[in-house]
Amino acid sequence: MASSEHSTHQPASLTLYLGTFGMLMLLTVLTIFAGFQNFGMWSTPIALGIAVVKAALVVVIFMHGYSSSPLTWVIILASIFFLTIMLGMMLSDYVSRGWVI
């Protein structure tokens, strides 16, 4: 009972937060640089890829995903899952049925 009287979430180190901030800045520069290159059809996947990495950094470190309970992770992953269903199924419709739009 003694240990359970205290919250066990230890604060992360300052270095980790500053390092994460540095990484996010670096990736912002990278996404702008990539935006000015002509990657053709790969432009959007590259831009989204960088954005996903940035979002993951924010979720795992700033939002304490690293110490969140498994149940919280179920919700986090569920939000991605439902968003994928919404975008994926809708797009499959639009891409495969030219006469719809």
Contact residues toward other proteins (CB under 8 A) are 4-12, 14, 17-18, 20-21, 24-25, 28, 31-32, 35-39, 43, 47-48, 50-51, 54-55, 58-59, 61-64, 68-69, 71-72, 75-76, 78-80, 82-83, 86-87, 90-91, 94-95, 101
State the Cα–Cα distance between residues 27 and 50, nearest whole angstrom. Answer: 7
User: Tokens representing 46?
Assistant: 């590259």
Shortest gap between Cβ of 72 and other proteins (angstroms)?
A: 5
The least distance separating other proteins from the CB of residue 32, rounded to whole angstroms, comes to 6
Rounded to whole angstroms, how far apart are CA atoms 70 and 16?
Answer: 22
Question: Are the C-beta atoms of residues 57 and 23 closer than 8 Å to each other?
Answer: yes
CB-wise, 38 or 99, nearer to other proteins?
38
Phi, then psi, of 9 in degrees rounded to 5: -80, 110
